[in-house]
A = this chain, B = another copy of it.
Amino acid sequence: MEVRQHLSQLDLFKGLTAEQLEAITGTVTEKDYRKGELIFAEGDEGVGFYLVIRGRVKVYKLSAEGKEQIMHIFGPRMPFAEVPVFAGSRYPANAEAMESSRLFFFPKKSFITLIQENPLLAMNMLASLSQRLKQFSNLIETLSLKEVPGRLASYLLYLSDKNGSIDEFKLDIAKSQLASLLGTIPETLSRIFAKMGAREIVSIKGPEITILDREGLEDLAEGNTKL
């Protein structure tokens, strides 16, 4: 698919005219990354933002001891690393390709010119950043106010909702990554999955999850019951 065709399908560019899309297309660079390849490191100069075309990218922070906290996982059609385009000048976290990925890169300077000439693009970007703020609020709530079983229950409900409230779906990341996202270690996560299975709240076969007791899962997520 051509760059412009990709752009026309994205929320960030919805409502733009063909001419406006053409102008944006002219600024884009395509970049390919191998699985595990670093896209940028925290503190690097923020030269622009990215959009995932194919693959998946994790944005994460590292502690002094090397412990990783995933902030967000970005899949196809999702922009990331916009912060240094509008505030400050450095990337506030690290980004790494979780699998072989193709990204579009939007250089800061030309994007700022485009957005200043284009109120609809500015509104779309405001919506995108606000959405991210909402997700970060939820992550802060999850990390700070919920026990690990509640965090896992919330995440499973989130995955179910994302796929149209279905009861059977696949985990979209490896269990070790999921542990990091939920601020815990793989061993603890395995124990909680086992308990959820024994209580017949969910059944787990490899990456395949089936919700057996949605109400029970919601009670866990809301902290009304404990495992």
Contact = CB atoms under 8 A, between A and B. Distances in A.
Number of copies: 2
B87 A131 contact: yes
A69 B144 contact: yes
Given A123-B116, A126-B129, A130-B129, A93 B137 contact: yes
B83 A133 contact: yes
Interface in A110-138: 112, 115-120, 122-123, 125-134, 136-138
B126 A86 contact: yes
A133 B131 contact: no
A92 interface: yes
A161 interface: no
Interface stretch (A20-28, A59-67, A164-172): A59-67
Interface of A: 61-65, 67, 69, 71, 82-88, 92-93, 112, 115-120, 122-123, 125-134, 136-141, 143-146, 183, 222-224
The list of the 10 closest CB pairs from A to B, nearest first, reads A64-B223, A87-B130, A122-B122, A63-B145, A86-B130, A136-B136, A69-B144, A86-B126, A129-B129, A87-B131
